[in-house]
Amino acid sequence: MGVRTIATNGATISIVGQFVRIVTQAGSIVVLARILTPVDFGLLAMTYPIVLFATALQEAGLGMAVLQRKTISDTELSTVFWISAAFGSGLAVLLVLVSGPVADFYGDPRIESLLMASSALVVLGSLSSVPFAVLNRELKFVRMSMIDIVSLLAGFAVSVVAAIMTQRSLSQASRSRRL
């Protein structure tokens, strides 16, 4: 295949993948808003900007460095991967450390545990950034889109299950208090 065909196919796959991503994210917000109480959904909304900021920093530009190199050895890829993992882990620790003050700022102690749990997302994201950069470098757009879609759907499923379990445990606690 020529470069033009690869670029056209890659752009098409990226557009379709982005559409599926947007639909999945919007759908997950609607479903979670339906399952969670407004207060619980608001707690998620309060943590979202902080987690989004941390995930934006998690890569530290290392994926772009992998893409821009003319050639890159396995040793260099391994080094970049471990630097990315260390940086993401450091950000996760920082997120855990600021979770208490952020909870104090919002006046709700539940924020602390939500931010601590969300720190795992930063670590996972940092572990995936270099492999994604390699896939991008190798023009494996279909594989990238499939991984992205499957991970979004898995995250959506985990979120829904966690929300349902949380609501059930809260309703059971409420029932036991009434007895």
Q: Which of 2-16, 74-88, 121-135 shows the lowest mean pLDDT across its residues? A: 2-16
Instruction: Check whether 85 has a pLDDT greater than 70.
Output: yes
Is residue 66 within 8 Å of residue 79, measured between CB atoms?
Answer: no
Question: Model confidence at 176, in pLDDT bands (50, 70, 90)?
Answer: low
Q: pTM of the entire structure?
A: 0.76
Calculate the alpha carbon distances from 37 to 8, 162, 164 in Å.
Answer: 44, 13, 11
**pLDDT tens, position by position, 136-146:** 888 888 888 88
Q: Where are the domains of the chain?
A: 3-167
150 is written with which tokens? 């499957």
**pLDDT tens, position by position, 32-52:** 888 888 888 888 888 888 988
Is residue 137 within 8 Å of residue 66, measured between CB atoms?
Answer: yes
pLDDT of amino acid 89 = 93
Question: 127 in the Ramachandran plot: left (φ > 0), alpha (ψ -120 to 50) or beta?
Answer: alpha
pLDDT averaged over every residue in the chain? 86
Instruction: Check whether 90 has a pLDDT greater than 90.
Output: yes
Distance CA 54, CA 124 (A): 12
More confident residue, 90 or 60: 90
pLDDT of amino acid 170 = 67
